[in-house]
Amino acid sequence: MPLCDPDRLFPVEPKCRDLARALYQSVADAPIISPHGHCDPRWFAENERFPNPAELFVIPDHYVFRMLVSQGVPMADLGVPRVDGGAVEVDPREIWRRFAAGYHLFRGTPSAMWLDHSFEFVFGVSEVLGPENAEAIYDQVEAKLSSPEYRPRALFDQFNIELLATTEGALDDLRWHKQIADSGWTGRVVTTYRPDAVVDPEFEGFKDNVALFGDITGEDTQSWAGYLNAHRKRRAFFKKFGTTASDHGHLTARTENLSESDAEALFVKVLSGHFSPEEADAFRGQMLTEMAKMSLDDGLTLQIHAGSRRNHSARVFQQFGRDKGFDIPGQTDYVASLKPLLDVVGMEPNLTVILFTLDETVYSRELAPLAGAYPALKLGPPWWFFDSYEGIRRFREATTETCGFYNTAGFNDDTRAFCSIPARHDVSRRSDCAYLATLVATGRLREAEAFEVAHDLAYGLAKTAYNL
Amino acid sequence: MPLCDPDRLFPVEPKCRDLARALYQSVADAPIISPHGHCDPRWFAENERFPNPAELFVIPDHYVFRMLVSQGVPMADLGVPRVDGGAVEVDPREIWRRFAAGYHLFRGTPSAMWLDHSFEFVFGVSEVLGPENAEAIYDQVEAKLSSPEYRPRALFDQFNIELLATTEGALDDLRWHKQIADSGWTGRVVTTYRPDAVVDPEFEGFKDNVALFGDITGEDTQSWAGYLNAHRKRRAFFKKFGTTASDHGHLTARTENLSESDAEALFVKVLSGHFSPEEADAFRGQMLTEMAKMSLDDGLTLQIHAGSRRNHSARVFQQFGRDKGFDIPGQTDYVASLKPLLDVVGMEPNLTVILFTLDETVYSRELAPLAGAYPALKLGPPWWFFDSYEGIRRFREATTETCGFYNTAGFNDDTRAFCSIPARHDVSRRSDCAYLATLVATGRLREAEAFEVAHDLAYGLAKTAYNL
Amino acid sequence: MPLCDPDRLFPVEPKCRDLARALYQSVADAPIISPHGHCDPRWFAENERFPNPAELFVIPDHYVFRMLVSQGVPMADLGVPRVDGGAVEVDPREIWRRFAAGYHLFRGTPSAMWLDHSFEFVFGVSEVLGPENAEAIYDQVEAKLSSPEYRPRALFDQFNIELLATTEGALDDLRWHKQIADSGWTGRVVTTYRPDAVVDPEFEGFKDNVALFGDITGEDTQSWAGYLNAHRKRRAFFKKFGTTASDHGHLTARTENLSESDAEALFVKVLSGHFSPEEADAFRGQMLTEMAKMSLDDGLTLQIHAGSRRNHSARVFQQFGRDKGFDIPGQTDYVASLKPLLDVVGMEPNLTVILFTLDETVYSRELAPLAGAYPALKLGPPWWFFDSYEGIRRFREATTETCGFYNTAGFNDDTRAFCSIPARHDVSRRSDCAYLATLVATGRLREAEAFEVAHDLAYGLAKTAYNL
């Protein structure tokens, strides 16, 4: 019996299910476009084997370990590295056993679906992971990982990835991308310009970062004009490594449209280190507008990932640092927040600003009405907690009626879990096809249209939105 | 093959679908009650032909042109008139071609369903509009428009409209309604009292409007007492033309219950022109309570349409003015906002206050609990972006369990797109019958009850809520 | 024909329905665990007969009478006691007739489902209540009530209740629980520690309550240390009567983590009677954290029921007092509000804090991400307006993908309507089984897993979460 139901995520009514299956089959083999994610480019540069099953599936994946933690497993027992020097479990088999012991916790979650998909289709596992078979499955995965077919580049090809975008900071030297480019390997791995460390005055080491930014670019980043020029140069540098987009992970979606002199004064203030949280927020908001204006010149798509309250647990942050599953969404306004930016660039037909949210209440109330009016706006796919069957269903049901399909931007996997990429795109394609089949079955879309739209959602829209 | 699936919007499971169809057939031919909308009464007064297909379907309909604009078509290219004197496309055929070229953008939207319904059932079109058949369909629609059967009054009869309410400002002389009344035509077209221009201190020309309001009514509208009297007189004047309701389109649902002297002082202040946004908002809030008190005397139903952030794009507003598809909803509180009004009139069994929202999050959290307790409150149907299959489904699923069916107010089409009226009522009836059939199929309602409720939702509740 | 469809609430697609039915049958006879509710312990202490049908079904049940009130029936006409000395209807038959005349108003509501279930399965009624059969059904119910099989303890056994928790204030002497314990009856009725009257500075008589709290416990409750000791002693006293949980009904989910000296100063201030609403709120917030710290010692589960705007109608509150159906939910933040408490106790694996909400928007945005990370947090079942088929469906769909099943706490009926307890647990079990069957049918859960989870949701999780 397969781990994954061949008809998973399709509607239950037989005729509607048949149509969903047919739609899915028409896109199941389309190449994967992964225009936003967090894979490590070093994997593809060096093409070393992945160390062991625990390092591949548990230790780096906060989707996975936070669920075990939520049920009382200490984070250190799962091998998650500490920033405070404390000890953590180092035996990958022991970590794997703890993972297997809690595998039932994932029932009904997308994590279970992604993991089972990886186990079955990447590693040939045919039983549900649990305490009894933990060792055997560990051995099976480990054996595969040691073979050449499971090196990163081989998996990249096996996964049928046409393009994979990683994300690097503005100060990154892109050495791994350079090494990939120099290697002659034909896999298309591009980077994304993510300047948070030099844009967010509250980022650790902001002042030093801006100084280093000047060194790297040869611009006087202590002046507003020089600082902006440094961004322009750095964006151009990133474009040499295939970048077609920038990305911005802000607490809010706030934007500003300050006068030249006010912006300059604010820059001086935040650089001085003596600024209020409000001023820091205003500066981040001004920088979104500056980035959008640069995009008018250099064509980069602008991504806004807003609304995550990072590092909610003080204790976890202190012991384990960032990105440990304790980032919690909060209410996020887009209507007032985006108005300054939209008054500058919103009506530009040749700019693409992609909006992401962790607050589903804005889909129908704010995002779809905005994207259904402003030419510059597109809606990104359901993000993070909402990259799931129900998340995708709610997104489509709440947005399509107002902004249609063509103001959305296709799928992102947004992951650092490499083996989950095919699984995530598969869930997305199945969920979208289930939605389309339901539209056809209820007379809201014609069957021939559904086949066209299915392909656009799985492949075409991502290429358009990211200028690929 | 018909443009519209005869079983559209019904549940997919065959038995449930059969019941939905039977429920729908029992109400499909019920006359249309349209108690709130924005048709032009002049159409029915003069009964001239509609100028051309583009003027009928594209130029005045912000649902339609904003979608094309969102994908990069300049608004001027669609013939939308400018307020800044700039040139716009004047060739209706060229506008129509652009509309046809973008018709795929409407896939999955209620606009597509309304347009296809109008094309098929009003104009006999049998193909999906597109670039290839744009000219032919233009000619077909144009030919029909030139025949007497397509004059406004003939269509009114063909659409089986029992009553149509238009909306006029407090300063309107209701000349077209008078002309309709004098014409001997038996179609029932009534007006609605919409006093925003003399109630909202931030409305263009508020001070002059209030002065004119005095001239019209013979009251001293520079005094609070006289100003209120002017409203009373004007409401009485509107009632002569069939008005049974007032309507109020405010940014928020704020209400106030000021003392006589505080209200008077606030009135003097806003009339002086020297007031804060907060004072303007407080005045609008006080006027909702004043209107409710007048309703206790004259029986008008009070409609509150709250929560639209109007004219979001500064550039579009400057070039094209109001109502151009750039009104964006925002978060709207009802619990605290309505308390002052409800403490005055909420427990009155003979008053009807109908609440509308563009913030779906309040359905289950605020509106249904309020309407399920206060005798004076009823819930209006899903409005604007939510006048759709999914919008209606979410509304029913989120409100019925708390306030039932009988605290809701039936359907409004709320449209200025005359030919879409039958389509919109059809979508509403089908969506409600789909919901009712699902309740029966899941043992939450008995079949005989469902037939009663279906008729109430399609016809009876609107008549009750609007005292028709 | 039965009042209740045997397949109610199951999915409509036949195969999916069959599986839901099978899942339901596997849990339908599981004993009822009712770990949170508001039944009167006196019923079980004295075991007197219930006075009459109106007293049983209408007068004390704000779910029921508010719906009739919302359609214009005066509350006094339904026998609801007044606090202002005004007259109310005293004839139970007349009240029952009014109830029957408005019974159609409950169509599509959970109240109808609970009432019909009680009528059919507890009282053997076989017709839908209405004006024609009101007298006959009154007589039938009254006849049953007068028989020994309808005494509280007999019904308790008939309902297959394994445990019922009532809720008492910190000042309660628990006399009825003592009488139950002394009676030798084997029914397990426990209490819950609900200290609002001595924790909320805005509670009527707070200062006197705290003084009395000192008298009862022999602690100096005028000092912060003594006041906290009084809680410790009282919690220990409640534990003698089976208490395993405390409960806190606050306006917001605010928590605080003040220093010892700041907390003491705030206590002195609120006890003085001279405090701001902000200070009252801060004190309530601090007390949640104090209660959580006590729970680390004594093992009580901490329940937070946040977000009800109590007594919305000034007139109803003045005439009829609290709990009269005019409590309206409002927006409630959990992310920022709970952080102080979570920074103290959130990572404790042996503490259970159960969160309830009346704001469904937080399910996917805040509650599931929090519960899916912090070991101390569990999600309570859908509460109040959301204790319904749709409410449960939305809860599961919005939370499972992020926090799974095992971070939820099973079902609560939270009712003072004793006869509705089997009905409410039945709705919960059916709704959960419908959800599980849908997951299986769409390949998101395996069938064997679904049977395990069904039992956990119906029985096991409640026992775990409440340490039963």
Q: Cβ B70–A366 below 8 Å, yes or no?
A: no
Question: Which secondary structure element, helix H or strand E, spans residue B377, and what is its range?
Answer: strand B377-379
**Residue A374 is nearest to which of B70, B331, B391, comparing CB atoms?**
B70
| Nearest residue of chain C to residue B361 (CA atoms) | C361
Residue A281 and residue A343 share a domain: yes
Q: Which residues of A touch C373 (CB under 8 A)?
A: 66, 69-70, 312-313, 325-326, 328
Q: Cβ B329–A402 below 8 Å, yes or no?
A: no
Indicate whether B5 belongs to any domain: no
Tokens found for residue B133: 């058949």
Nearest to B214 by CA among B201, B226, B196, B197: B226
Question: Measured between alpha carbons, how far is A239 from A233 in angstroms, rounded to an integer?
Answer: 10
For residue A186, the enclosing domain spans 14-46+150-465
Q: Cβ B5–A443 below 8 Å, yes or no?
A: yes
Q: What tens-digit pLDDT sequence spans chain A (468 residues)?
A: 789 999 999 999 999 999 999 999 999 999 999 999 999 999 999 999 999 999 999 999 999 999 999 999 999 999 999 999 999 999 999 999 999 999 999 999 999 999 999 999 999 999 999 999 999 999 999 999 999 999 999 999 999 999 999 999 999 999 999 999 999 999 999 999 999 999 999 999 999 999 999 999 999 999 999 999 999 999 999 999 999 999 999 999 999 999 999 999 999 999 999 999 999 999 999 999 999 999 999 999 999 999 999 999 999 999 999 999 999 999 999 999 999 999 999 999 999 999 999 999 999 999 999 999 999 999 999 999 999 999 999 999 999 999 999 999 999 999 999 999 999 999 999 999 999 999 999 999 999 999 999 999 999 999 999 999
Question: Measured between alpha carbons, how far is C351 from C367 in angstroms, rounded to an integer?
Answer: 17
Q: Which residues of B touch C72 (CB under 8 A)?
A: 349, 375
Residue B412 and residue B398 share a domain: yes
Question: Measured between alpha carbons, how far is C406 from C371 in angstroms, rounded to an integer?
Answer: 10
Q: Cβ A369–B385 below 8 Å, yes or no?
A: yes
| Nearest residue of chain B to residue C10 (CA atoms) | B442
Residue A159 CA to its chain's centroid (Å)? 18
Q: Which residues of C touch A128 (CB under 8 A)?
A: 446
Exposure class string for C348-366: b at 16+ Cβ within 10 A, else e: beebbbbbbbbbbbbbbbb
Indicate whether C4 belongs to any domain: no
Instruction: Looking at A240-353, list the stretches that DSSP marks H as alpha helix, in order from N- to C-terminal side.
Output: 260-272, 277-298, 314-320, 335-345
Residue A372 and residue A266 share a domain: yes
Residue C295 pLDDT > 80? yes
Exposure class string for B215-231: b at 16+ Cβ within 10 A, else e: ebbebebebbeebbbbb
Q: What are phi and psi of B169, to 5 degrees?
A: -70, 160
Last residue of a domain, one of A149, A183, A216: A149
- pLDDT tens digits, C195-218: 999 999 999 999 999 999 999 999
Residue A154 and residue A142 share a domain: no
Count of domains forming chain A = 2
**Residue C339 is nearest to which of A109, A312, A360, comparing CB atoms?**
A312
CB contacts < 8 A, A to B, total: 127
Average pLDDT, chain A: 97
Task: Give the residue from C364, C407, C438, C449 with the most A CB atoms within 10 Å of its CB, the best one to mutate.
Answer: C364
Last residue of a domain, one of B149, B169, B185: B149
Q: How is the beta sheet containing B377-379 ordered, strand by strand?
A: B168-169, B193-194, B245-250, B301-306, B353-356, B377-379
> How far off is chain C from B365, nearest CA to CA, in Å?
6
Indicate whether B219 belongs to any domain: yes
- pLDDT tens digits, C123-166: 999 999 999 999 999 999 999 999 999 999 999 999 999 999 99
Residue C316 and residue C381 share a domain: yes
- pLDDT tens digits, C350-363: 999 999 999 999 99
Average pLDDT over residues C288-302: 98
Question: Measured between alpha carbons, how far is B381 from A404 in angstroms, rounded to an integer?
Answer: 22
Tokens found for residue B343: 């403490």
Q: Which residues contact C170 (CB under 8 A, 6 or more apart)?
A: C193, C194, C195, C197, C198, C199, C213, C231, C234
Number of helical (H) and strand (E) elements in chain C, helices listed first = 22, 11
One-letter amino acid at C374 equals Y
Residue B190 and residue B145 share a domain: no
Indicate whether B227 belongs to any domain: yes
pLDDT for A1 equals: 72
Question: Measured between alpha carbons, how far is A216 from C95 in angstroms, rounded to an integer?
Answer: 83
Q: What is the ipTM of this complex?
A: 0.97
**Residue A11 class from Cβ within 10 Å (0-12 exposed, 13-18 middle, 19+ buried)?**
buried
Residue B276 and residue B252 share a domain: yes
Q: Cβ A444–B106 below 8 Å, yes or no?
A: no
> Model confidence at B1, in pLDDT bands (50, 70, 90)?
confident
The DSSP symbol for C188 reads -
Residue C268 and residue C129 share a domain: no
Average pLDDT over residues B83-112: 97
Q: Which residues contact B159 (CB under 8 A, 6 or more apart)?
A: B32, B421, B422
- pLDDT tens digits, A155-177: 999 999 999 999 999 999 999 99
> Model confidence at C49, in pLDDT bands (50, 70, 90)?
very high
Question: Measured between alpha carbons, how far is A49 from B188 in angstroms, rounded to an integer?
Answer: 78
Cα–Cα separations (whole angstroms), residue A452 to A368, A422, C41, C183: 22, 22, 64, 74
3-class DSSP assignment, residue A329 = strand
Last residue of a domain, one of B149, B165, B186: B149
Task: Give the residue from C327, C385, C433, C438 with the most B CB atoms within 10 Å of its CB, the best one to mutate.
Answer: C385
> How far off is chain B from C105, nearest CA to CA, in Å?
6
Q: Cβ C330–B336 below 8 Å, yes or no?
A: yes
Residue C303 and residue C418 share a domain: yes
Q: Which residues of B touch C359 (CB under 8 A)?
A: 365
Q: Which chains touch C (3 or more CB pairs under 8 A)?
A: A, B
Q: Which residues contact C416 (CB under 8 A, 6 or more apart)?
A: C37, C38, C39, C40, C60, C61
> How far off is chain B from C446, nearest CA to CA, in Å?
23
Number of helical (H) and strand (E) elements in chain A, helices listed first = 22, 11
CB contacts < 8 A, A to C, total: 127
Q: Which residues contact A218 (CB under 8 A, 6 or more apart)?
A: A233
The DSSP symbol for C338 reads H
**Residue B445 is nearest to which of C108, C330, C391, comparing CB atoms?**
C108
The DSSP symbol for B62 reads H
| Nearest residue of chain C to residue A63 (CA atoms) | C402
One-letter amino acid at C253 equals A
The DSSP symbol for C345 reads H
Question: Measured between alpha carbons, how far is B410 from B423 in angstroms, rounded to an integer?
Answer: 16
Q: Cβ B15–C12 below 8 Å, yes or no?
A: yes
| Nearest residue of chain C to residue A68 (CA atoms) | C373
Rounding to the nearest 10 degrees, give the CA dihedral for residues B94, B99, B101, B104. -170
Q: Which residues of A touch B4 (CB under 8 A)?
A: 443
One-letter amino acid at C166 equals T
The DSSP symbol for B90 reads -
Beta-strand relationship, A301-306 and A353-356:
parallel
Q: Cβ C388–B401 below 8 Å, yes or no?
A: yes
Residue A69 and residue A42 share a domain: no
Question: Measured between alpha carbons, how far is C47 from C41 in angstroms, rounded to an integer?
Answer: 10
Tokens found for residue C391: 């409410």
Tokens found for residue A147: 């073979």
The partner residues of C35 in beta bridges, in order of sequence, read none
> How far off is chain C from B191, nearest CA to CA, in Å?
27
Tokens found for residue B8: 């559209």
Give percent above pLDDT 90 in chain C.
Answer: 99
Nearest to B168 by CA among B308, B38, B16: B38
Residue C358 and residue C223 share a domain: yes
Indicate whether B2 belongs to any domain: no
Number of helical (H) and strand (E) elements in chain B, helices listed first = 22, 11
> How far off is chain B from A233, nearest CA to CA, in Å?
29
> Model confidence at C1, in pLDDT bands (50, 70, 90)?
confident
Q: Which residues of B touch C325 (CB under 8 A)?
A: 372-373
- pLDDT tens digits, B316-360: 999 999 999 999 999 999 999 999 999 999 999 999 999 999 999
The answer to whether residues B319 and B86 touch, using CB atoms and an 8 Å cutoff, is yes
Q: Which residues of A touch C361 (CB under 8 A)?
A: 360-361
Question: Measured between alpha carbons, how far is A176 from A278 in angstroms, rounded to an integer?
Answer: 37
The partner residues of A313 in beta bridges, in order of sequence, read none
Domain CATH number, residue B84: 1.10.2020.10
Q: Which residues contact C274 (CB under 8 A, 6 or more apart)?
A: none
Question: Measured between alpha carbons, how far is B246 from B293 in angstroms, rounded to an integer?
Answer: 12
Axis crossing angle, helix B134-145 with helix B92-101, rounded to the nearest 10: 130
- pLDDT tens digits, B377-418: 999 999 999 999 999 999 999 999 999 999 999 999 999 999
Question: Measured between alpha carbons, how far is A354 from A303 in angstroms, rounded to an integer?
Answer: 5
Q: Which residues contact C166 (CB under 8 A, 6 or more apart)?
A: C37, C38, C39, C40, C41, C177, C189, C190, C191, C192
Residue C339 CA to its chain's centroid (Å)? 25
- The alpha carbons of chain B give a radius of gyration, in whole angstroms, of 22
**Residue C296 class from Cβ within 10 Å (0-12 exposed, 13-18 middle, 19+ buried)?**
middle
Question: Measured between alpha carbons, how far is B402 from B400 in angstroms, rounded to an integer?
Answer: 5
Q: Which chains touch B (3 or more CB pairs under 8 A)?
A: A, C
- Please provide the DSSP assignment of B246-293 as one string: EEEEESS-------HHHHHHHHHHHHHT---HHHHHHHHHHHHHHHHH
Cα–Cα separations (whole angstroms), residue C286 to A143, C253, C291, C349: 54, 11, 9, 21
Question: Which secondary structure element, helix H or strand E, spans residue C105, and what is its range?
Answer: none
Say how many C-beta atoms besides its own lie within 10 A of residue B468's C-beta.
18
Indicate whether B3 belongs to any domain: no
Instruction: Looking at C203-276, list the stretches that DSSP marks H as alpha helix, in order from N- to C-terminal side.
Output: 206-217, 224-239, 260-272
> How far off is chain B from C385, nearest CA to CA, in Å?
6
- pLDDT tens digits, C233-271: 999 999 999 999 999 999 999 999 999 999 999 999 999
Question: Measured between alpha carbons, how far is A342 from B287 in angstroms, rounded to an integer?
Answer: 34
Residue A69 and residue A19 share a domain: no
Query: What is the maximal distance between C-alpha atoms in chain A?
Result: 68
Question: Measured between alpha carbons, how far is A108 from A9 in angstroms, rounded to an integer?
Answer: 12
CB contacts < 8 A, B to C, total: 127
The answer to whether residues A64 and A58 touch, using CB atoms and an 8 Å cutoff, is yes
Q: Cβ A312–C453 below 8 Å, yes or no?
A: no
Domain CATH number, residue B387: 3.20.20.140
Indicate whether C461 belongs to any domain: yes
Indicate whether B346 belongs to any domain: yes
Q: Cβ C361–B366 below 8 Å, yes or no?
A: no
Cα–Cα separations (whole angstroms), residue C362 to A111, B377, C376, C388: 21, 26, 18, 18
The answer to whether residues C414 and C387 touch, using CB atoms and an 8 Å cutoff, is yes
